[in-house]
Structure 1
Amino acid sequence: MPQLSRFHALLLLLLLLLAQGGVATGADTSDDTFHTQQSAREARQQLAGWIPAAMGLEAAIKTLQSRGFTCRAMQPATGLRSSTLCTLEPVAEVPPAQRFATSVTPIHWFVTLDSMDGTTISNVLVGRSPKDIGG
């Protein structure tokens, strides 16, 4: 009988987890927000999870816009049909009198979505200002 009780306790725990949606969806929502305080290399990795190779250009733009980026078309370089620049500006800084600690350095992010055919992503470039330490 104790085995049956332990089984039911585990089953109840599993059902609670499923009801919260964490296990049911399999989605890791911690990666839904762009991490502004990261290196450009880490940002490329995070963006690669959002914008897989050969993703549609419009879908990629919507993905970035839904996470706070502002996107606009640019003059494409030779060999490209389309180029879109998406930027993420730092959040407005809290006035010094209202701070509990020194604020982090504001980082401006630049993501360029290049397309050779005008419909699918062929290259994603990521940059930040100020540059990474040592980069």
Structure 2
Amino acid sequence: MSEKDLLEKLRKIERLYAGAATAGEKMAAADALARIQKRLNEAKQKEAAIEYKFTLTDDWSKKLFVALLRRYSLKPYRYARQRRTTVMVRVPVTFVDQTLWPEFLELSAVLKNYLDEMTERVIHEAIHEDDTDTDVLDNEWLE
């Protein structure tokens, strides 16, 4: 997958969660963002925002999640002594359940796949072509 393909796939995911209904809407990323922002604002009017704690597994996931929050004008934070991969945010439950978390999971899977492919290609071409996993030995060698 090229970087251009990756960017287009990420934009398609955004349009999917925006609920774009027509072909014209599907082509406009700005429309998608506006639709999601509208959904968030409606959720804020109907229900109170609650504090969520998200514990992400790695720096890549955290960067993606924080960027997604900021895209929707949400303010990510963490408390003193919380891990660097912890992200706190105040947001309505329905927005998290119906838009934010599902979109993040899909974007994260696409990005992880791209990063895995790129890493494998670079290692194969620049370090060593044998990219097989390590051998598994019996425990007998410990004795």
Please confirm whether the aligned pair reaches a TM-score higher than 0.5, indicating the same fold.
Answer: no
User: Which fold has the larger relative contact order, with Cα–Cα distance below 8 Å and residues 6 or more apart in sequence?
Assistant: 2
Larger radius of gyration: 1
* TM-score of the aligned structures, taking structure 1 as reference length: 0.28
Structure with more strand by fraction: 1
Q: Which structure has the highest helix share of the two?
A: 2
TM-score (normalised: structure 2): 0.27
